[in-house]
Amino acid sequence: MAEGAARLSLAVALLVLGLKALAYLLTGSVALLSDALESLVNVAAALAALLALLRPGDEVVAAKGLFGQTIGLFGQVLSLMGVTVRYVDPEPEAVREALSAKTRAVFVETVANPALLVPDLEALATLAEEAGVALVVDNTFGAAGALCRPLAWGAHVVVESLTKWASGHGSVLGGAVLSRETELWRNYPQFLQPDLKGQIPWEALRARCFPERVRTLGLSLCGMALSPFNAYLLFQGLETVALRVARMSETARFLAERLQGHPKVKALRYPGLPEDPAHRNARKYLASGGPILTLDPRETIATMTSYIVQAATGDQPTGSTAYYALFAVGFTLFLLTLFLNILAQYVVERYRERYE
C-alpha cells in the first residue's frame, strides 16, 4: 500500500517536474512574449485553446488552406460542440465581412501548410481587437518562435506543434498554447460566470483566466499532458532551435534559387524569393524565408530527389542524360578492353608455336 502510494507520488512528481521544466524553458525560449503556457500534445493544443474560448452556438472564422488535420478537428470535433467554422481568405477585408455577433475566434496559420501563404498578422490582430474576438495563430511554421512570434504582432493566442523544430530530432510529439496579457477576456461570458470554485475568473485571475481555463479543460479534464521525458527532450532541442532553423532556412533558400525555373519543376513556392506571393508579408513577419519550400514536380518523387540532390551538391543525378552518357562511355571502354584482351590472347596462342 505504502509502496503503491510512493510510486504514485513519484509519478506525479515526475509529471509536475516535466511540465515545470517545459513551462520554464518555453517561457524563456519559445514564449519570451507570453504570460502563459500550457504543454499539450500535437493538435490538442488547438483544441484546448478553442475549448477555452468557445461555447455551443459560437462561430470561428478560419483561413482557407489550413493544415488538413486542423480542418478535420474543426469539421469533426468542434461541430460536435455546435460550433460553426467559416472559411475565408485570410485577408483582413474577407475576415471582417465574415465576422458575426457569434464569432469568438479568428484562426490563421503564420505560414499556411501547405499553401505557404503568410497572412498580415498585424492587420488581423487590430481587426480582431476592434471586434472583441481573439486572434488565434497556429505558429507551427513559425518554428517555436525562431522564425515568428505572433504575440508580438498583437495575436491573443498562439498554438503550435513542438513536434517539428522544437525538438529537432523527430523524437517528440508535443504542442503548446501561449497567450498574452489582454483585456479581451472580459468579452467572454465564460470568464464572467462563477467557475467550479465559485470564483468569477475575470475578477479573480484577470489576464490569467484564459490560460487557467486551458489548464482546467485541456490538461486536467481531458488529460492533454506532455510526458516528462518529452519535456526533457524538448529542453535539449530548444537550446539549438534558432541555429538549426537559420541553417535550414539557408538550405531552403539555396535549393529554391536553384530549382526555380528548373525544367523538371512545374511550379515552386518559397516565401523568401522576391517574386513569391507570400514575400511581402514574409519579409515583415518572418526572420528569414523559412525552412520550407514546396514544388510541383514533373517527375516521380524518386527521380525528383536526384535533381534536388544535384541542385544541392552539384553531383551528377542518377537518371539524367549526362549520367547515361557517362555510363555508356564507361561500358564501351570496358567492352573494348575485353575485346583487346581476347585478341591479345589469340595472337599469343596463334604465334606461340612459331617462336617455341
Ligand X SMILES: Cc1ncc(COP(=O)(O)O)c(C=O)c1O
Output 69 or 79, the one with its CB closest to ligand X: 69
Q: CB of residue 197 vs ligand X: minimum separation in angstroms?
A: 32
Q: CB of residue 173 vs ligand X: minimum separation in angstroms?
A: 6
Q: CB of residue 200 vs ligand X: minimum separation in angstroms?
A: 33
For residue 85, give the 3-state DSSP assignment. Answer: strand
What is the residue whose three cell numbers read 465574415? Answer: 98
- Tell me which amino acid residue 178 is: L
Distances (CA, A) of 231 to 38, 158, 166: 12, 19, 11
Dist. CA 290–CA 240, nearest whole Å:
16
Contact predicate 48/220, CB 8 Å? no
What is the residue whose three cell numbers read 583487346? Answer: 340
Q: CB of residue 113 vs ligand X: minimum separation in angstroms?
A: 4
Output 36 or 224, the one with its CB closest to ligand X: 224
Q: CB of residue 240 vs ligand X: minimum separation in angstroms?
A: 19
**Rg from Cα positions in the chain:** 28
Residues near 99 by Cβ (< 8 Å), separated by ≥ 6? 61, 106, 131, 133
Output 140 or 306, the one with its CB closest to ligand X: 140
Contact predicate 75/51, CB 8 Å? no
Residues near 213 by Cβ (< 8 Å), separated by ≥ 6? 51, 52, 190, 191, 201
Output 141 or 188, the one with its CB closest to ligand X: 141
Chain residues binding ligand X by CB under 6 A are: 42-43, 67, 69-70, 109, 113, 138, 140-141, 161, 163, 173, 175
Output 141 or 307, the one with its CB closest to ligand X: 141
Output 138 or 212, the one with its CB closest to ligand X: 138
Closest CA to 260 of 225, 289, 239: 289
Q: CB of residue 293 vs ligand X: minimum separation in angstroms?
A: 14
By beta carbon distance, the residue nearest ligand X is 42
Q: CB of residue 138 vs ligand X: minimum separation in angstroms?
A: 5
Dist. CA 292–CA 116, nearest whole Å:
8
Contact predicate 218/224, CB 8 Å? yes
| Peptide bond preceding 92 in cis form (omega within 30 of 0) | no
Instruction: Kindly report the backbone phi and psi dihedral angles of residue 227, in degrees, each rounded to the nearest multiple of 5, phi listed first.
Output: -75, 150
Q: CB of residue 313 vs ligand X: minimum separation in angstroms?
A: 27
Q: CB of residue 233 vs ligand X: minimum separation in angstroms?
A: 14
Beta strand pairing call for 36-40 and 175-179: antiparallel
- For residue 248 the three cell numbers come to 535550414
Dist. CA 320–CA 307, nearest whole Å:
9
Output 106 or 209, the one with its CB closest to ligand X: 106
- For residue 243 the three cell numbers come to 541555429
Output 42 or 187, the one with its CB closest to ligand X: 42
Output 290 or 317, the one with its CB closest to ligand X: 290
Beta strand pairing call for 59-63 and 103-109: parallel
